[in-house]
Homo-oligomer: A and B are copies of this chain.
């Protein structure tokens, strides 16, 4: 109800770290998701949708002593006084789903899921607090065939999206191999803290280079700001072995590695497992340009138990500082054999890969690979709304996107509206034309070209050169021809 007293009005503002999206970006993301979905379904992966919320304890974050367990995740208490959290990835909900429905699922259980995930973190440029992931996982088999299949499937998806050979590479490494290397250089699992330092150092190879990593493996490193990061205090020899391991990159695994890991059983098993995954890919026609081992891939510290994967785009783009850089990671994953056991105590082998949809979309957009939008025709409202509606309906029946102007403004404003909407064509049917069985079609694209040779916007909007009068009967066919859909 209207009221005369002063009211304080809320300010209309988007919450920090979130964003509104419209038109072309939504259409492009939808198309991207459809293409990935098509490939994954053709492999026999079935869709699963879990809810946005999970019980907080099920997400693997333990309820802290403070009132709200909000570190990293969005959490709240429901009306049963139970803590709920919005999912921060699609893997933890999958583990909950598998544990809850284990008896009834076909094994291996292969599902894909796409949807929003939430991070209660400090937002930054390009970093939002909700974003879309697209995951595929195979649960219930330790076979390297399951890992190899995911790698090949991701290659197929990236190529279906229009990327060419050489524009992407799916890299593979192994947590078991890293464990074996660390064992072999005298840093066993019990040395958790120093291992953590080494892993984080390796993960920074891209950014810090060999010198930086070497410092972190040894006594530590002072960065440009003067801040000191503690090192792992490895011996020269041990650090040397790790650096040689990293230098293998995608090079010759078997001989160089044997030289580093000796007869460490864990490392040898991991090498064999990696070798089998790569062999399956190669013999199915995926070459080293598409799928390649790389000793420098780390992917998360706690989560993975075996092979780890990372899909990278290799073409150059400009970063925010205007520098030319390689686009980098768009998907990551690996084997996680312990996640279901968190609930059931029973180890269930599982492997999966997750595509960062927004990042991939940004890359494809920069490549011009997505974003086609169907042209729009707008029928102006010139006295007889019924007739405008009828024209639009006929066009839609012929497969054309056609809008009737439903506002109350006059013709010049309607033309400006059509221009702002990016319409390709505008249809005008004045009273005289209607009486004569005629309509006028205005070509806004041609008009825009024309406007470069006339003085003002107002002039071209009024210009008659880019318009054409046809009979009402031939209208639909004419529009289809003009849109190139004839």
In the bound complex, CA of A15 to CA of B83 (Å): 10
Residue A64, interface by CB 8 Å? no
- Contact status B23-A145, CB under 8 Å: no
- Contact status B70-A49, CB under 8 Å: no
Contacts of A15 in B (CB 8 A): 51, 53-55, 78, 82, 84
Contacts of A343 in B (CB 8 A): 9-12
In the bound complex, CA of A91 to CA of B352 (Å): 37
In the bound complex, CA of A129 to CA of B84 (Å): 12
Residue A345, interface by CB 8 Å? yes
**Pairs A–B under 8 Å by Cβ, sample size 16:** A9-B342, A10-B343, A12-B97, A13-B100, A16-B80, A20-B51, A20-B101, A22-B49, A23-B47, A42-B400, A44-B403, A53-B130, A76-B76, A106-B417, A143-B408, A152-B389
Give the residue name and chain of the B residue nearest to A347 (CB).
Answer: B2
Interface of A is mostly: mixed
Residue A450, interface by CB 8 Å? no
| Contact among B23, B41, B80, B407 with A140 in the assembled complex (CB-CB below 8 Å) | B407
- Contact status A108-B406, CB under 8 Å: yes
Given known A-B contacts A122-B79, A389-B280, A22 and B46 have beta carbons under 8 A apart: yes
Residue A75, interface by CB 8 Å? yes
Residue A231, interface by CB 8 Å? no
Residue A385, interface by CB 8 Å? yes
In the bound complex, CA of A405 to CA of B143 (Å): 10
| Contact among B1, B55, B110, B393 with A10 in the assembled complex (CB-CB below 8 Å) | B55
Mark each residue of chain A from 177 to 201: 1 if its CB lies under 8 Å from any CB of chain B, else 0.
0000000000001001000000000
- Contact status B10-A58, CB under 8 Å: yes
| Contact among B18, B23, B189, B403 with A53 in the assembled complex (CB-CB below 8 Å) | B18
How many copies altogether?
A: 2
Residue A485, interface by CB 8 Å? no
Contacts of A233 in B (CB 8 A): none
The minimal Cβ–Cβ distance linking A190 to chain B, given in whole angstroms, is 9
Contacts of A229 in B (CB 8 A): none
- Contact status A284-B46, CB under 8 Å: no
Residue A386, interface by CB 8 Å? yes
Mark each residue of chain A from 17 to 32: 1 if its CB lies under 8 Å from any CB of chain B, else 0.
0111111001100000
Within 8 A of B (CB), among A382-425: 385-386, 389-390, 392-393, 396, 400-408, 417, 420-421
| Contact among B23, B374, B408 with A141 in the assembled complex (CB-CB below 8 Å) | B408
Count contacts on A: residues with CB < 8 A to the other chain: 105
The minimal Cβ–Cβ distance linking A76 to chain B, given in whole angstroms, is 4
- Contact status B145-A20, CB under 8 Å: no
| Contact among B97, B280, B401 with A42 in the assembled complex (CB-CB below 8 Å) | B401
Residue in A14, A18, A345, A400 with the greatest tally of chain B CB atoms within 10 Å: A14
Mark each residue of chain A from 55 to 93: 1 if its CB lies under 8 Å from any CB of chain B, else 0.
101101000000010100011111110101000000000
| Contact among B18, B51, B75, B417 with A18 in the assembled complex (CB-CB below 8 Å) | B51
Contacts of A189 in B (CB 8 A): 1
Residue A355, interface by CB 8 Å? no
- Contact status A407-B141, CB under 8 Å: yes
Given known A-B contacts A43-B403, A58-B12, A76-B76, A20 and B1 have beta carbons under 8 A apart: no
| Contact among B74, B101, B145 with A404 in the assembled complex (CB-CB below 8 Å) | B145
- Contact status B97-A20, CB under 8 Å: yes
Residue A52, interface by CB 8 Å? yes
Give the residue name and chain of the B residue nearest to A338 (CB).
Answer: B2
Contacts of A381 in B (CB 8 A): 145
- Contact status B74-A146, CB under 8 Å: no
Residue in A10, A45, A280 with the greatest tally of chain B CB atoms within 10 Å: A10
Contacts of A76 in B (CB 8 A): 68, 70, 74-76
Given known A-B contacts A21-B49, A386-B283, A344 and B58 have beta carbons under 8 A apart: no
In the bound complex, CA of A350 to CA of B78 (Å): 34
Give the residue name and chain of the B residue nearest to A37 (CB).
Answer: B30
Residue A111, interface by CB 8 Å? yes
Residue A107, interface by CB 8 Å? yes
Contacts of A142 in B (CB 8 A): 408
